[in-house]
Amino acid sequence: MKSVLVTGASGNLGSAVVKKLQNEGCHIFATARDANGLDGAEVAPVDLTDETAVDAYIQSITAKNTNIKAVILLVGGFAMGDLNQTDAAALQKMYKLNFETSYFVVRALLPYFEQNGGGQFILIGSRPGFQAKDAIHTVAYGLSKSLVMYLAEIINAYGKDKGITAAVIVPSTIDTPQNRSAMPNANPDKWVSADTLADSIYFLLTDTGKQLRETVLKVYNES
């Protein structure tokens, strides 16, 4: 059975991705501080901003010889703030939450993929990560996601001919309880559901999806 590691598995998107991949027959390793609702997955509460803890965790799951073929890196967070408001602390916070949490896992898992014939990294970007006009009021968030998206390019350059690829999923606004309460006047029908994103992520893991290269999948619906 194919195994997939999902980080941020307790989140809005994470729980939908775990459910979808389990329905498709994957064995799931998951990082989540709250294992509620993640029945059937092997869950560990790892702080992914802690490089030492990430290294130990990846070591522990890869030592089990569990045929991990992909990692879906969903940990991340959002913050408002324009150039005037974004100080060093604001930059650091988003850098750690969005970039380090991806980078540490990528770095720890890469040798395993290299030794086992390859693997897929699926990262989560955002529009402010590559469109400056969308980052005007979310400077730290946009900058941190831009690093995530460039990390995918570096992985693709490094992984060429090694069977190692990276893809980036770019959601517009996800239909979450938090977004509904933050934007009560918006029309959530125009947003994208976590289930639709989970389907898109699963597609990347299929035999067809695996042949895509340097993928940036923009899942926007109407927003």
As measured in angstroms, the least distance from the Cβ of 78 to ligand NAP is: 6
Q: What is the number of alpha carbons within 13 Å of residue 70 lying toward its C-beta?
A: 27
Task: Output the six-digit token pair for 107.
Answer: 């770095």
Contact flag: residue 176 with ligand NAP (CB under 6 A)? yes
Q: How far is the CB of 207 from ligand NAP (least distance, A)?
A: 26
Query: Is-contact 120 166, C-beta < 8 A?
Result: yes
Q: Minimum distance from CB of 31 to ligand NAP (Å)?
A: 6
Q: Does 217 bind ligand NAP (CB under 6 A)?
A: no
Instruction: Select from 73, 5, 10 the least CA-distant residue to 36.
Output: 10
User: Which letter does DSSP use for residue 63 in this model?
Assistant: T
Question: Under the criterion CB under 6 A, does residue 11 sit at the interface with ligand NAP?
Answer: yes
Interface segment toward ligand NAP; rule CB under 6 A; list 9-17, 19-27, 158-166, 213-221:
9-17
Binding mask 65-104 for ligand NAP (x = CB under 6 A): ---------xxxxx------------------x---x---
- Return d(Cα 83, Cα 86) in angstroms, integer: 5
Q: Would you list the DSSP string of 152-206?
A: HHHHHHHHTTTTEEEEEEEESSB--HHHHHH-TTS-GGGSB-HHHHHHHHHHHHS
Q: Which residue's CB is nearer to ligand NAP, number 119 or number 128?
A: 128
Binding positions for ligand NAP, 23-62, rule CB under 6 A: 31-34, 47-49
Binding site for ligand NAP (CB under 6 A): 8, 10-14, 31-34, 47-49, 74-78, 97, 101, 124, 126, 171, 173-174, 176, 179
